[in-house]
Structure formats: structure tokens, C-alpha cells
């Protein structure tokens, strides 16, 4: 399976803290810079799987970097540099405590809620008579609260966000505006690759100067769902499942093996074959989304490589 990144334990100069997310580890340098390391951990249903996926972190980090670069004219982002295939370094921001989820199609969580008879998601109406994977008349924004640690993210409505004072009205309106514009750009980028951007999430923060910036990752297979455009209409007309480019294949495998992150459920055994299959699917995702061949980084001594590259960047600051 090769050398993979699970947990890291670096001690960089002027390091203030280390935050471990589900798949990323974030080092605070002097309350000014964040060093974000994309590990090879795999998360599904808000649960981190016990085994890592080779090259997954590099894939997510490099897709996110490319997409940040392709959208910086719409909204400024937090990134300063990509010193290593698995690392992004950027400005420390105060994150908004909501994730801006936007959906162009009735898929995933929205489809599961729809099948239960619900016709509103996060206070947003969903039309009657839709089939799974049908396109919405207009993309809908369905925010979720940002979970701490391993807790599940929760759906929340615009009205609840404002009434609870989680985000000010002025800021929230800007987040909505940015979310719609980013989704439109992401849709255009996907179309050039014969893909459909189905749904995605964006996270935002504020700099010390009070500027709203895009943070975390965007348009990756972990944060987004893609369909192949070719054959989409035919599959919908026949009631067939759509050909997807997303982490949904992992979720479906888990569901088929009796796991949806619920209490008392056991994570199914991930064999070497299954891990390599997932790794190959992530490489396929990278190449299809970016239109570029994936070049595997040298993982013979991955921790030393990351430490050396990050220190080289920090020493230049």
C-alpha cells in the first residue's frame, strides 16, 4: 500500500497549537500562519476509517490548490503557498461556524431526505415529483453547522443561523453571494471536463482585517459530488444510477456492508485490495477533474519530506 500519513506530530518554530480534523491537521504558527497537512485518512458519515488511502491527501491538496487558484478572482482565499504535495500554508482566519452547502441536483443527503417524504431541506423547499439525481430548477443552499471534533454536522436553516446570531445578516448575505458564484464557476470548470458539479460545500473565514476569505478545500471529491455528463439524461430517463465521481462510492460500499455511522454499527473490514481500489478511484477523480495526469509524490520517507518542505517555507518568512 505504500507509505501513508495518518497522524502527524511536528514541532515547527513558533508553533502555538495543533488541531486535528477528520482528514486534515492544522498547525498554528505564531497566530499568523496555518500549516494545513492533508493526511491520507478517509472519513465517511463523519467517521474516520481505521485505515488510510495511499495518495489521497496529495490528491485532495492539489485539487483544492488548483481550484482556489481558479476562483481567486471571485473571492480571496487563505492560501499563501503549497510547499509540499500534501501541504497548504496560508493566513490564519477566524472561521464561520457554518458550512455553505449548495446543491444543483437531488442527490446524496437531499435525496435520502426526499425519499423519507420531506419536501424542505434547511428551510428550502424542494419541488414535488422529483426523481433522485434530477436537476433542481435553481441551485439551493442548505447550510450545516460545523461540527467540533468527530460530531456529526447538522442541517440548519438560514433563518436559524441569523436568529441564533451564528453569522450576521450582512456577512451571511455575502457568504450566499460567494457560494452561488463559486458554484457557477465550479460548474463551468466541470463542464470543460465533461462533468456535472452536482453539489459541494464551501467554508469561509475572516482575516484579522475583517475580510471574508475562502478557506479549507473546494471542488474536491471529498467536498463535492460530480456526475459524468455523457449519458446523464439517458440514465435519468431509464431510472438508472448515475455514474459518479465523488466519495459516494465509499459511502455506498459502507452502506452495503451495514455501516452508516450509526451507534452500534461496525466499520467493515477494509482489505488491501479494497484500499488500493479506493486509491485508484481517487487518482481517477484527480485526473478527470483536473484534466491532468496524476504524478505520485515520493512517499519513501513522507514525514521527513513534509517537515523539510514546511521548514524551508517558514524559514523564508
Q: What is the mean pLDDT of residues 81-86?
A: 97
Cβ within 8 Å of residue 10, ≥6 positions away: 18, 27, 306, 307, 310
User: Using CA atoms, how far apart are residues 37 and 59, in angstroms rounded to an integer?
Assistant: 12
Nearest residue to 129 (alpha-carbon basis) of 121, 119, 142, 120: 119
Nearest residue to 98 (alpha-carbon basis) of 159, 184, 44: 159
Cβ within 8 Å of residue 178, ≥6 positions away: 74, 75, 100, 202, 204, 212, 214
CATH number of the domain residue 66 falls in: 3.30.200.20
> Which pLDDT belongs to residue 147?
62
Asked whether residue 75 is domain-assigned, the answer is yes
Q: What is the mean pLDDT of residues 209-234?
A: 93
Nearest residue to 63 (alpha-carbon basis) of 79, 75, 50: 79
- Lowest mean pLDDT: which of 38-42, 130-134, 153-157, 247-251? 247-251
Asked whether residue 214 is domain-assigned, the answer is no
Residue 266: band (very low, low, confident or very high) from pLDDT cuts 50, 70, 90 = very high
Mean pLDDT score of the chain: 93
Asked whether residue 28 is domain-assigned, the answer is yes
> Which pLDDT belongs to residue 150?
47
Asked whether residue 139 is domain-assigned, the answer is no
Q: What is the mean pLDDT of residues 72-81?
A: 96
Which residue has cell 455528463? 229
User: Using CA atoms, how far apart are residues 67 and 73, in angstroms rounded to an integer?
Assistant: 11
Q: What is the mean pLDDT of residues 193-216?
A: 95
Q: Which residues pair with 200 in a beta bridge?
A: 102, 224
Q: Is residue 268 predicted with pLDDT exceeding 60?
A: yes
Q: Is residue 80 predicted with pLDDT exceeding 60?
A: yes
pLDDT tens digit string along 279-309? 998 998 899 999 999 999 999 999 999 999 9
Q: What is the mean pLDDT of residues 190-200?
A: 96
Asked whether residue 62 is domain-assigned, the answer is yes
Query: Domain residues for 56?
Result: 15-93+269-316
Backbone angles phi, psi at 252, to 5 degrees: -65, -40
How many CB atoms sit inside 10 A of residue 14's CB?
Answer: 12
Q: What is the mean pLDDT of residues 5-29?
A: 94
> Which pLDDT belongs to residue 248?
77
pLDDT tens digit string along 87-109? 999 999 999 999 999 999 999 89
Asked whether residue 280 is domain-assigned, the answer is yes
Q: What is the pTM of this model?
A: 0.88
Q: Is residue 190 predicted with pLDDT exceeding 70?
A: yes
Dihedral, CA of residue 12, residue 16, residue 18 and residue 19, to nearest 10: -140
Q: Is residue 1 predicted with pLDDT exceeding 70?
A: no
Asked whether residue 220 is domain-assigned, the answer is no
Asked whether residue 179 is domain-assigned, the answer is no
Residue 237: band (very low, low, confident or very high) from pLDDT cuts 50, 70, 90 = very high
> Considering its fold, how many domains does the chain have in total?
1
> Which pLDDT belongs to residue 121?
97
Amino acid at each position: 500500500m505504500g507509505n501513508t500519513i495518518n497522524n502527524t506530530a511536528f514541532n515547527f518554530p513558533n508553533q502555538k497549537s495543533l488541531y486535528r480534523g477528520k482528514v486534515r491537521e492544522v498547525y498554528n504558527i505564531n497566530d499568523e500562519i496555518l500549516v494545513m497537512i492533508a493526511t491520507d485518512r478517509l472519513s465517511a458519515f463523519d467517521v474516520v476509517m481505521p485505515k488510510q488511502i495511499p495518495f489521497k491527501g496529495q490528491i485532495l491538496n492539489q485539487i483544492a490548490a488548483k481550484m482556489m487558484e481558479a476562483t481567486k478572482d471571485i473571492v480571496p482565499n487563505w492560501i499563501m503557498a503549497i510547499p509540499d504535495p500534501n501541504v497548504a500554508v496560508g493566513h490564519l482566519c477566524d472561521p464561520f461556524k457554518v458550512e455553505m452547502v449548495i446543491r444543483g441536483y437531488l442527490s446524496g443527503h437531499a435525496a435520502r431526505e426526499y425519499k423519507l417524504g420531506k419536501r424542505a431541506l434547511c428551510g428550502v423547499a424542494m419541488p414535488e415529483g422529483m426523481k433522485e439525481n434530477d436537476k433542481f430548477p435553481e441551485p439551493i443552499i442548505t447550510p450545516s453547522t460545523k461540527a467540533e471534533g468527530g460530531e456529526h454536522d447538522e442541517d440548519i436553516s438560514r433563518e436559524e443561523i441569523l436568529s441564533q446570531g451564528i453569522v450576521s445578516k450582512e456577512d451571511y448575505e455575502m457568504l450566499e453571494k460567494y457560494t452561488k458564484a463559486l458554484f457557477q464557476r465550479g460548474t463551468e470548470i466541470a463542464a470543460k471536463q465533461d462533468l456535472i458539479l452536482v453539489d459541494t460545500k464551501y467554508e469561509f473565514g475572516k482575516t484579522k482585517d475583517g475580510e471574508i476569505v475562502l478557506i479549507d478545500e473546494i471542488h474536491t471529491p471529498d467536498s463535492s459530488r460530480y456526475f459524468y455528463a455523457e449519458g446523464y439524461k439517458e440514465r435519468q430517463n431509464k431510472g438508472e444510477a448515475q455514474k459518479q465521481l465523488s466519495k459516494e462510492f465509499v459511502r455506498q460500499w459502507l452502506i452495503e456492508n451495514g455501516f452508516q455511522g450509526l451507534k452500534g454499527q461496525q466499520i467493515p473490514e477494509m482489505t488491501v485490495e479494497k484500499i488500493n481500489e479506493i486509491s485508484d478511484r481517487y487518482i481517477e477523480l484527480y485526473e478527470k477533474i483536473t484534466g491532468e495526469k496524476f504524478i505520485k509524490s515520493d512517499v519513501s520517507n513522507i514525514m521527513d519530506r513534509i517537515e523539510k518542505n514546511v521548514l524551508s517555507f517558514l524559514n523564508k518568512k
